[in-house]
Amino acid sequence: NKFHVWFPGGIVIGSLLSYFIYDVLGLDWRILVALLYIPLVIYGVLMFNEKFPQTERVTSGVSTGDMWKAIAKPIFLFMAFCMLLTASTELATGQRISSLLEGANAVPILVLGLTSGLMALGRAFAGPIVHKYSTSGMLLFSAIFSFLGLIWLSYSSGVTVYLAAIIFAIGVTFFWPTMLGFVAEEIPESGALGLSVMGGLGMFSVSIVLPIMGVFMDTGSQGGETLRYMAILPAVLILLFAVLYSKYGKKAKIQEA
Q: What percent of the chain has pLDDT over 90?
A: 27
* Angstrom distance (rounded) from CA 240 to CA 140: 8
Cα angle for residues 79, 205, 243 (degrees, 5° grid): 25
Best-predicted range by mean pLDDT (111-115, 148-152, 246-250): 148-152
Question: What average pLDDT does the segment 78-103 reach?
Answer: 83
pLDDT for the residue 91: 85
pLDDT for the residue 210: 86
pLDDT for the residue 204: 94
Which domains, from first to last, does the chain contain?
A: 2-247 (1.20.1250.20)
Question: What average pLDDT does the segment 22-27 reach?
Answer: 82
Question: What average pLDDT does the segment 148-157 reach?
Answer: 87
| pLDDT > 80? residue 205 | yes
